[in-house]
Structure 1
Amino acid sequence: MEIQRNGFKRESYILSVDVGTTSIRCHIFDKEAQIRGSCTTKVNLLYPEPGLVELDPEELWRGFVKVVNGAVQDSGLQMRQMETLGISTQRGTFTTWDRKTGVPFHNFISWQDLRAVELVRSWNNSCTMKAIHGVMMALHFLSKNKRFQAASLIVFSTQHVTFRLAWALRHWKQLSEAVAEGTCCFGTIDTWLLYKLTKGLVHATDYSNASATGMFDSYQLCWSEFLCCLVSLPLSILPKVLNTGHRFGSTDPSIFGVSIPIMSVMADQQAAMFGECCFDIGDVKITMGTGTFMNINTGSKPHTSVAGLYPVVGWKIGPEVVYLAEGNAADTGTAIKWAQELELFSDVRETDAMANSVANSDGVCFVPSFSGLQAPLNDPKACASFMGLKPSTTKSHLVRAILESVAFRNKQLYETMLRETHIPIRKIRADGGICTNDFVMQLTADLFGRKVARPTQHEMSCLGAAFVAGLEVGFWKSQEELKKLQRTDRVFLPRNLYRMGDGGTEGEYTPILQRWEQALKRSMNWYGNP
């Protein structure tokens, strides 16, 4: 693609920003999807009280502007060569602000935040929920409508926005006053950035982000009036929901010196799925970053789960809607960072060699549950723990136990996905910072009994948002063209000796897995005990 300005033709590029849980990064992509310039800055998480996790909205905005300017400077290109901007953001992290002034009422409340855990527990155990489940079950029996089946199985989670927003509305008087006055805007990070980039002209989100809030009806593709009414959430504060690939507006010229069309807004896991070119039913993506997120493409229909897999909109481009079923483990990267801060190792790259330096974990099991346990266990009160420590236990044993726990959670999610969806798996691709660890990747492939591919680029959310934006402006012509740009660093093949019943390592891992599952059970409901 070329942009013509003042009679001169200039090569054009795609600008893409990913706002993650721990960092904000910007990449500039050329026609071959190669990175021409990059810039990264840290996201500073705030912990005002135990269990509370927040981000400063203005600091996040400054970080966004910083990485865009830094990436363009790093590339040696000019801002006017940026044909379009794509945005990928962490999901379920939200704030509210004054519609007139644009000033936030409070910090972003992170998806990891547990302030609403008691509210969630009380709702899940309430007579109201039992009555709703019963009525929906009956309606499903009579109509066979999957929407009623989904409603009969719904279990609320702190990771969804619903009850953290309900908590905020109950506890902060200024919010309820702003709602009454019609001056309150709600938004996840993408909505906040669109609002800032357009100087308040756009209050919107896309289907992928909306579907991950817990307040969205993925079957009807609209905000759920029933749920919002049930939990007393005002529909008036919610943003407009638009296609994932769409002209959301343009950046105000005062921000970057030129006006850049914003052509994609996408939730990070869905963006990673798109970046991995998992366009077909049965394609699986595993992102191992701050948390592990496993997604399977379920096609044009949302999946109804009984074990906690969540149906999300992958993307909506034109009339086409692609759905994903998702399971997650919240504390993958968190556990690695915690171990590093304890000085179990100095460099994350050491962990692979440390894990392979010992034959096993010496009976040690690690439960990665700093933020509770998600599907298929779904216990927000579970605690993180080491079990089976001995005088003979070394740092290498501890590190191996931590890395094994990542692969074991992967196996749990994968088996849940197979059992629930009954969709034949076409391919499995992994990304995120933890996928650089060969031990985790190989053990995951062994436990799956399937090959797992690792891309050359590990941060796929940026690439996914860039792909969608590029398709919208004709920078790339089709999804088939994108597949040709996909690059694989290594394919991890399951080792034959891991197959069950041949006397190999799978047999050796069976008691280790069983012991680890016992450790999980002992860690559950820990914070519910006196």
Structure 2
Amino acid sequence: MGQIAGLGISTQRGTFITWHKRTGKPFHNFISWQDIRSAELVRSWNKSLLLKVIHVIFTVLHFLTGNDRYLAPSFLTFSTQQTSMKLSWVFKNIPEAEEAAKKNNCCFGTIDTWLLYRLTKGSVYATDYSSASSTGIFEPFTKCWSPTLCNLLSLPKSIYPPVKDTSFNFGSADSEIFGVPIPIMALVADQQSAMFGECCFHPGDVKLTMGTGGFWNVNTGERLFASQRSLYPLIGWKIGKEVVYLTEGTISDIGTAIKWAQDIDLFTSVDETAEMAQSIADSQGVCFIPGLQVSVDGTYLCASFMGLKPSTTRNHLVRAILESIAFRNKVLYDTIVKKVHIPLQTIRADGGVSNNSFVMQMTSDLINKKIEKPANADMSSLGAAFLAGLASGFWTDKEQLKKLRRIEAVFEPQKDSEEYRPAMDTWLQAMKHSLHW
């Protein structure tokens, strides 16, 4: 343990907890990014006259000033996945948290902040720019917690942690925990960490993570693109004076759908799925529509198979599920190309589903781009290690990190994307039918 130069922490984004500043006692369990307890609050806000007025005001401000920071509020809608709405729910439903906040005794933290607080026995309370920007409460343009959103949702302004660099000496874990004090040299949100682990250091570098959900991230360098309806800006990392911005788009129900298919015995092992899909020429018109993790903004969306026939087999069902992942990758990629005006480089894929050769090859065909798969699919851990190593002096610059990259497989386009057009058109039509269940 004494030889460890530093510890890096990468954590799931959007999951948070609040606790009493003096006692350290939590007011509730962790509330995850999948939690939907704020559904009624979200519905109420999205139907409110106030939100419509906000849309008009910020549309006018954006038109008059041309400042992109006013663009996102001009079409702001709330969802159950947003930390802000769940935090608003906390202060409306947990009196102890509300009372503590009134007395400046309430702390808010995502998982990284809580771990840091606990590892240092309560002596360090902080987060980093990547995790802060992922809450939706932190303003990436001004790099501060948003007073506008706090006022709008009646969120206390005193509860948020100080925001530090991503690669930074946050202090040391208490020696009672590991036997020796270990310096904590990096805090980073998981998707940004995976981006760093993939060495996507330059504008136009693209990362695709396919795990429980799907995350497309584009390095936009020093340029911050305003939120658009399916894309939003994030701070990738801050190291000293360097601030790197990302544009992100997300897809729900990737690994979730595959796990569900396994649970209903469509296959025994996930490793079988690519071979099952490749064993048939097509899905025979069967379409799978995701929706297993529907949030309040998709209340009437159902998960479904469409186009079933007497001849449909398990292989057709499995292929339909895998095709749905590739089709959604194509839709989101096209949106990125249209809205992010930066030449995109090779895509680097990670996450458990990147081990599926069928999904990877079909995605490469559909977007007509080369996709690299690293030898290690868990890039979040590697990214945190890289960031901690830079802060501790184990590595001196990013060029050293690039030399450590190991590529296991490369997927290049093998079919014209137009060959998939009939199947994708059928899938898009099925998606429309599922929206009004």
The 8 Å contact of residues 9 and 384 in structure 2, kept in 1 or not, is answered as yes
Is 1:442 equivalent to 2:361 in the alignment? yes
Deviations 1:390-448 (A, max 9, x none): 22111111111111111111111111111111211112100000000000000000001
Cα pair distance change 1:525/1:299, threshold 3 Å: farther
TM-score after normalising by structure 2:
0.97
In the other structure, the counterpart of 1:106 is: 28
Whole-angstrom CA distance in 2 between matches of 1:525 and 1:168: 31
**Matched-pair contact (CA < 8 Å) for 2:8–2:385:** yes
Paired-residue identity, %:
58
Q: CA 1:380–1:484 in 2, change beyond 3 Å: closer, same or farther?
A: farther
Structure 1 CA distance for aligned equivalents of residues 249 and 87 of structure 2: 22
Q: 1:184 aligns with which of 100, 106, 117?
A: 106
Give the structure 2 partner of residue 299 of structure 1: 221
**Over residues 25-61 of structure 1, what are the superposed CA-to-partner deviations in whole Å (9 max), with x where a residue is unaligned?**
xxxxxxxxxxxxxxxxxxxxxxxxxxxxxxxxxxxxx
Closer, same or farther: CA 522–148 of 1 in aligned 2, 3 Å: same
Letter in 1 for 2:397: S
2:393 maps to a residue whose letter is G
Partners in 1 of 2:211 and 2:368 — Cα distance? 23
Question: Which residue number in structure 2 is paired with residue 154 of structure 1?
Answer: 76
* Cα distance in structure 2, aligned partners of 1:91 and 1:312: 12
User: Cα distance 1:118–1:382, how it changes in 2: closer, same or farther (>3 A)?
Assistant: farther
> Are the aligned partners of 2:17 and 2:110 in contact in 1 as well (CA < 8 Å)?
yes
1:89 aligns with 2:11: yes
1:88 is displaced (CA, Å) by: 0.3
CA distance in structure 1 between the partners assigned to 2:34 and 2:92 by the alignment: 20
Quote the residue 1:341 is aligned against. Answer: 263
Rounded Cα–Cα distance in structure 2 between residues aligned with 1:147 and 1:499? 36
Name the counterpart of 2:58.
Answer: 136
| Residue equivalent to 1:404 | 323
User: How far did residue 381 of structure 1 move?
Assistant: 4.5
Name the residue aligned to 2:412: 493
Q: Tell me if 1:208 matches 2:130.
A: yes
Q: Which runs of 5+ in 1 are unaligned?
A: 1-78, 501-505
- Check conservation: 2:27, 2:94, Cα contact below 8 A: no
Question: Which of the numbers 453, 457, 460 marks the counterpart of 2:372?
Answer: 453
- The correspondence of residues 56-455 of structure 1 with structure 2, limited to 5 A, is 79-372=1-294, 379=298, 381-455=300-374
Amino acid at match of 1:498: D
Gaps of at least 5 residues in structure 2 are none
| Residues 348, 431 of structure 1: alpha-carbon distance in 2 compared, 3 angstrom cutoff | same
Q: What one-letter code is carried by the residue in structure 2 that aligns with 1:516? A: W
Residue pair 1:310, 1:327 contacting (<8 A) in 2 also: yes
2:421 to 494, 510, 523: 510
1:292 to 1:380, Cα distance in 2 relative to 1, 3 A:
farther
Write the distance in 2 (CA, Å) between the matches of 1:214 and 1:352. 36
Q: Which has the higher contact order (CA 8 A, sep 6+)?
A: 2
Residue 402 of structure 2 is aligned to residue 520 of structure 1: no
Cα displacement (A) at 1:499: 4.3
Q: C-alpha distance in 2, partners of 1:163/1:499?
A: 40
Of stretches 322-331 and 145-154 in structure 1, the one that deviates more from structure 2 is 145-154
Alignment check: 8 A CA contact 2:79 2:295 kept: no
How far the C-alpha of 1:140 sits from its partner, in A, is 1.6
Aligned CA distance change for structure 1 residues 277 and 226 (closer, same or farther; 3 Å): same
Tell me the distance in 2 between the aligned counterparts of 1:394 and 1:499. Answer: 26
Q: Is the 8 A contact 1:305 1:420 kept in 2?
A: no
User: 1-side partners of 2:417 and 2:52: how far apart?
Assistant: 43
The change in CA–CA distance for 1:391 and 1:499 in structure 2 (over 3 A counts) is closer
Per-residue deviation, 1:320: 1.0
C-alpha displacement at 1:380, in angstroms? 5.5
Q: Helix, strand or coil for the counterpart of 2:308? A: coil
Spell out, residue by residue over 1:59-104, the C-alpha distance to the aligned partner (whole angstroms, 9 max, x if none): xxxxxxxxxxxxxxxxxxxx11111000000100011112222221
Greater Cα offset, 174-183 or 344-353: 174-183
SS in 2 for 1:324: strand
Q: CA deviation at 1:273?
A: 0.3
- RMSD of aligned residue pairs (Cα, Å): 1.5
| Bigger Cα displacement from structure 2, 452-461 vs 359-368 | 359-368
The one-character-per-residue Cα deviations of 1:91-120 (angstroms, maximum 9, x if unpaired) are 000111122222211111110112222322
* Comparing 133-142 and 286-295, the one that deviates more: 133-142
User: What SS class does the counterpart of residue 396 from structure 2 fall into?
Assistant: coil
Q: Is the contact made by 1:273 and 1:295 (CA closer than 8 Å) also made in structure 2?
A: yes
SS of the aligned residue for 1:311 comes to strand
Paired AA for residue 107 in structure 1: N
- State the TM-score, normalizing by the size of structure 1: 0.80
| Displacement of 1:182 | 2.5
- Structure 1 contact 329–373 (Cα < 8 Å) conserved: no
**Count of residue pairs brought into register by the alignment:** 437
Shift of 1:357: 1.1
Amino acid at match of 2:198: E
Alpha-carbon distance between aligned partners in 2 of 1:240 and 1:273, rounded to the nearest angstrom = 24
CA distance in 2, matches of 1:373, 1:297: 28
What SS does the corresponding residue of 1:80 show, helix, strand or coil?
Answer: coil
The Cα offsets for residues 243-281 of structure 1, whole Å up to 9 and x where unpaired, read as 111111110000000101111000000000000000111
Distance 1:499 1:382, change over 3 A: closer
Q: CA deviation at 1:125?
A: 2.9
- Asked if the contact 2:71–2:227 (Cα under 8 Å) also holds between the matched residues in 1, the reply is no
- Cα distance between partner residues in 2 of 1:447 and 1:121: 36
